[in-house]
Amino acid sequence: MSSVKLNHTQCCYLDLKKNWIKLYSGIFNKLDSILGLDLSDNHLTEIPMGSFDGLSNLIYLRLQNNSLGLMTSKGLSEGSFRGLQLRYLDLTINNFKNFDILTSAVTPIYTLQNLSVEGCDRCAFNESWRNLTNLIYLDLSGYALDQNSYKDCHITKLSSKTFINVPYLRNLSLSDCGIEDIEPETFAPLNYLEYLDISENVRLNFTGAEKGLRGLNATKVKWLNMNHIHSDTGLGTMITKSLFETFIGLPLEELYLDANKLETVEKGAIPLLPGSIKRVSVTYNRLALDDYLIDIAMEDDGGMNLLSLEYVDCSYQQAFSILLLETQMEQVSKARKRRDLIPGHTWLGSSLIIVIAPPPNVKVIKFSESSWRLPLLAVRFKNNSIEEFDLSNNNINSWVGPIEGLESLKRLYLFNNNCVKLSNSFFTTFRSLEVLDISQNFLGDIFNNGSHGDVFKGLDRLKYLDISLNRIRFLQKMIFNGLSSLETLNISQNFLAEFDVDFSSCMRLGILNMSQNQLYVLTNDVQDKLETASKNVPVTVLLQQNPLSCACDALDFLSWKVTTRVNVTFGKGNPCRNSKGENMELANFDNTLLTKMKKQCTSYTLVIAGSVGLFLCFITVTLSAIAYRYRWKIRYLYYAARSHRAMKNSPAGYSLVCAYDAFICYANEDANFVRHQILPRLEDQDGLRLCLADRDFVPGVSISENIVAAILESKTSIFIMTASFLRSHWCKYEINIARVNSIEKDTDSMIMVMLEDIPNNLLPLEILELFRSQTYLDYPQTAAERETFWKALSHAIQRKA
């Protein structure tokens, strides 16, 4: 490819990577609509002066994986980027051995904010770089982009003068640069620095980091990544007070110390952490329970210096040491005999309770997959705000408790812990719990003996419960009684041969997963309770890979499956054997097969006597099923016919021309967004014609007919997706009518706008299907990205027109 031709009026981002483009003056002439350009992997060895003439609005330029640093006389020059107002420039993987030619080409770009280029020992920032007062992001890191591309950064040493000429940086990445030494005060000139990444420099270690971070308190660093700055081989490491002393005075909020063979922290170091710290991650280490932990969590004032700390991740401890806690447990055992008082413990009746005082505002604690094998005994948490506790994938095989003081706990993960012992009252203290995952344990014997009927008592806020993969053969009838907020129940992959459980109090239950058990049928009582629940919310029952019966004793169950509003899913490849020994595919079980089965299970006399009634019943059920299946199409055709008839009889006459560019579908709670954001932009600024219910609907006409008419008279329909939208009956009506209209006209006439981040488990199945087949846009949270969003939305509307 040697030249560029395109309809520039329709282009915002031009992707020309992986070609053989040769640049020359005027190649991009008159392409002033281009905002972004990617010329990566084009074997470029030079950028002649004037190559980018015509790209007057270009702000993003990617030149990754070329050879601009090989030809020092021609690769880049002072005029290479002439006339550009770039904000983002990527020059990684270009073999720069120094920054001489890079300096002459880049420093005239006064608008530059973001620069990515590999660092090297001879790559220096001279005084010319001071002209770049807008340069706030500098990425000098090295890492593998894919199997064939690697950002090769080599900076053996950083001096106190390295960054003196780029003082306006806010984000600096030095990851994987082979750094071995950092002089004190290296980062001191960066008074505006907020994000610093020195991870993956395995020769640096904590000693080198402590030296290099001296003077960091002259910056505004709030995010610091020190992951993997130790070699994977050798002895374990310790964080010293002198390292954390470098953080004094910093507004530090997030600290990452993953994969450093960390075993312990010097006593007295933790209190040196800034009070602003919110997030700490020490995953993939070798932490031992030592005095530092007791200082934080075993004293009355533990963690009080960490008032802002909200998130702690200690997962994946590769060789977790519990020697100190085991010694402490022995001390507890002896004290229990003597009823002695020991530090960090208190007596409650005849029980000795461990008292833990974590930092008061911590919300999330993760300690998964860390070989923890001690039992969960009596513990009391003081003055805490913990909402999520993750102890999954350990070996905690005994849950005794009681665990008190976790009044704010909403999410508890204890799956895959090989648990064989569970106290009947273990969960009763977690009154605010919403998510409980205790799958992949050995709780079957505990539930099978019928002694734990109240194990979930008091969890009236619980929404998600997973007890799958527990070898459960029997559940007590009232085990789920009182779970009034339960929405999802997963009891799959157990050994249940029958399911005779009362879940009538679970009025919000929407998903019941009973797949991979030993079930033959669902009893009439369970069917009735599912029917009742389906009156409040759509209910889905998963029964895949169960040895379900198609014999005569299962006739009531199979009849219910055909007629119920409950979505009963068997899955493909799940046959059952009928009374004659014939295999039947449950996934295809319908009225026809049901009728055949009823004939087989009824005597010849009853078949003759009731043939007429059975035929009428068959016709009624079939028509009802057809009407239910095509209910939205029927409504659409009915109101569409009325709308066409009204148009023909109107004084203006009948017209097939669409009156609007788009019909805006939204919940009443989102009306302000539509009036103050969408209308000013799409109508006033872009000149589009929009249809709004509260403005353009015809008075005196039913809402249903108004909706169908609006969709018919609009070229496309835009849906403002929020939680309020999902709760609105009329919003659901609009989206279903629009789906039918799209199918009938064989056009893609729907655009989804995600105004809020809605988890997939909260989305109805029909809307999830739309996201797989229809266009959708995410509404940006930052003002900087919204202009691109509005342009994309306006373009999508005009394209569909």
- Of residues 228 and 76, the one with the higher pLDDT is 228
Q: What is the mean pLDDT of residues 710-717?
A: 87
Residue 575: exposure state from Cβ atoms within 10 A (0-12, 13-18, ≥19): middle
Name the segment(s) of the chain with CATH classification 3.40.50.10140. Answer: 632-800
Mean pLDDT of 620-628: 60
pLDDT, the chain, mean:
82
Residue 329 has pLDDT above 50, yes or no: no
* Between residues 631 and 549, the one the model is more confident about: 549
Mean pLDDT of 231-241: 87
- Note the maximum CA span of the chain: 104
pLDDT at 604: 38
Confidence (pLDDT) at 723: 87
What is the total residue count of the chain?
801
SS3 of 648-666: the string is HHCCCCCCCCCCEEEEEEC
Q: Residue 500: is its pLDDT beyond 90?
A: no
Does 52 score more than 60 pLDDT? yes
Superfamily of chain region 632-800: Toll/interleukin-1 receptor homology (TIR) domain (3.40.50.10140)
Q: How many CA atoms lie within 13 A of 488 on its CB side?
A: 13
pLDDT computed for residue 412 by the predictor? 95
Lowest mean pLDDT among 87-96, 232-241, 349-358, 637-646: 637-646
Rounded to the nearest angstrom, the gap between the alpha carbon of residue 375 and the centroid of all alpha carbons in its chain is: 32
Residue 644: what pLDDT? 52
Tens digits of residue pLDDT in 67-93: 888 765 577 888 889 889 999 999 999
Closest CA to 270 of 308, 309, 296, 304: 296
Residue-wise pLDDT for 607-623, tens only, equals 445 666 676 676 666 66
Put residue 215 in one of left, alpha, beta given phi > 0 → left and psi -120 to 50 → alpha.
left
pLDDT digit string (tens) for 719-743?
A: 898 988 888 888 888 888 888 887 7
* Number of Cβ atoms within 10 Å of the Cβ of 765: 9
* pLDDT tens-place string over residues 215-225: 999 999 999 99
Confidence of residue 293 (pLDDT cuts 50, 70, 90): low
What residues does 388 pair with on adjacent strands? 364, 411
- Mean pLDDT along residues 96-118: 90
Going from the C-alpha of 96 to that of each of 154, 166, 727, the distances in angstroms are: 11, 19, 57
Average pLDDT over residues 22-32: 87
Flag whether pLDDT at 344 surpasses 70. Answer: no
- pLDDT at position 380 is 86
In the predicted structure, residue 576 carries a pLDDT above the cut 80: no
Q: What percent of the chain is predicted at pLDDT more than 70?
A: 83
- For the ranges 206-215, 288-297, 634-643, the maximum mean pLDDT occurs at 206-215
Q: What is the amino acid identity at position 57? A: N
Give the model's confidence band at 333: pLDDT under 50 very low, under 70 low, under 90 confident, else very high.
very low
Q: Is the pLDDT of residue 50 over 70?
A: yes
Is pLDDT of 502 > 90?
no
SS3 content of the chain, % helix, strand, coil (to 5): 30, 15, 55
DSSP type of residue 515: -
Q: Pick the range with the lowest mean pLDDT from 228-237, 281-290, 545-554, 593-602.
A: 593-602
Q: In the chain, what percentage of residues exceed pLDDT 90?
A: 34
* 420-444 pLDDT per residue, tens: 999 888 898 999 999 999 999 999 8
Q: H/E/C letters for each residue in 717-766?
A: EEEEECHHHHHCHHHHHHHHHHHHHHHHHCCCCEEEEECCCCCHHHCCHH
CA distance 85 to 87: 7
